[in-house]
Amino acid sequence: MDIKILAFGIAKDILGATNLSVQMPGEPTVGQLKAHLCRSYPAFEKLASFAIALNTEYAEDRQAIHPGDEVVIIPPVSGG
């Protein structure tokens, strides 16, 4: 399945782009996508955390990604 990903903040810097397309077999889970991103872009492992949103809602690692889902990497946010 072709997964189109949007990235912002530090995630965009790690990927070197705002948009990324990755190929994964079947309908992968969010956890599988995160593991793939960490293997392909080791800098993700150095982040305190990062989340994935599917169709504008935070997704849990066990949630399946379906064709056409909007996938967004949510980088860690800090404030003061």
Give the H or E element holding residue 34: helix 30-40
User: Is this model's pTM higher than 0.85 or not?
Assistant: yes
**C-alpha–C-alpha distance, residues 80 and 70, integer Å:** 30
Q: What is the pLDDT of residues 23-47, one digit of tens each?
A: 999 999 999 999 999 999 999 998 8
Task: Walk me through the domains of the chain, giving residue ranges and CATH numbers.
Answer: 20-80 (3.10.20.30)
